[in-house]
Amino acid sequence: MAVKRNALITGSTSGIGLGIARSLAALGHNIMLNGFADREEIEHLKADIATTYNVKVAYSNADVSKAEAIAGAIDQAKAELGDIDILVNNAGIQFVSPIEDFPIEKWNAIIAIDLAAAFHAIRLVLPGMKARGFGRIINVASAHALIASPFKSAYVSAKHGIAGLTKTVALEAAEHGVTVNAICPGYVLTPLVQKQIPDQAHARGISEEAVVRDVLLAAQPTKRFITVEEVAALAAFLADQQTASITGAIIPIDGGWTAH
């Protein structure tokens, strides 16, 4: 039977983050959810996961664009669940625009949430993981950690930064039983991607149907969206006790996109 661990997953009230939270709970791990949703929805999610998987479930509404809020979420997780053994940096936002029109505030927000938040969370949980001789840090990056697309200067920069951060911390933690890896999904049909479709259509001057066919799925040889369940299964695998030799890996799960 797997050892019960405590996991903090940022951006986990919907989409990929929620899928990962469920996959880790299914292994018996306690869960700290994080994200924005109304109180009734949060209570429903907590009760559903706790009852379905017989685990403890906590929730923090920390705004991960702020370092002090991340620290507060980690303190809360320790108080309600115990030391954090598994950290999944999943929170992310997106904005699509030619760089000459890219709003500065959007650049700052994407860098803060998609890159700096992972740095702050890692620096706070890593000392405890090293002291206990076990830790799993999983950064949800993107195929855009490996390649670029137009009109996504901030997002691509942040995800390339996540790849570098992953490799660097993996080297620093390698002798302490802590692994650090990045998952790089192609297009997953989450609320984040669904919101991109009209933005991409506007930026490119094409229909939303053409965005899905000719932009989003054009580069994925499988010609289908990646599922949340597929990404969650990979995260659960990387969180396992038996994956101690997988660290510093930037792992595509993209339907063959980055094989081009």
Could you tell me the domains of the chain? Answer: 6-186+227-241 (3.40.50.720), 188-225 (no CATH)
The predicted pLDDT at position 191 comes to 74
Which is it for strands 6-9 and 86-89: parallel, antiparallel or unpaired? parallel
User: Which residues are within 8 A (CB) of 49 and not within 5 positions of it... i.e. 6 or more apart?
Assistant: 21, 22, 25, 31, 33, 55, 57
7, pLDDT greater than 60: yes
Q: Which residues are catalytic?
A: 155
Q: Is the pLDDT of residue 190 over 70?
A: yes
Tell me, what's the pLDDT at 156? 98
Angle of CA points 26, 31, 32, to nearest 5°: 155
Residue located via tokens 């009760």: 47
Report pTM: 0.93
Q: Which amino acid is at 240?
A: D
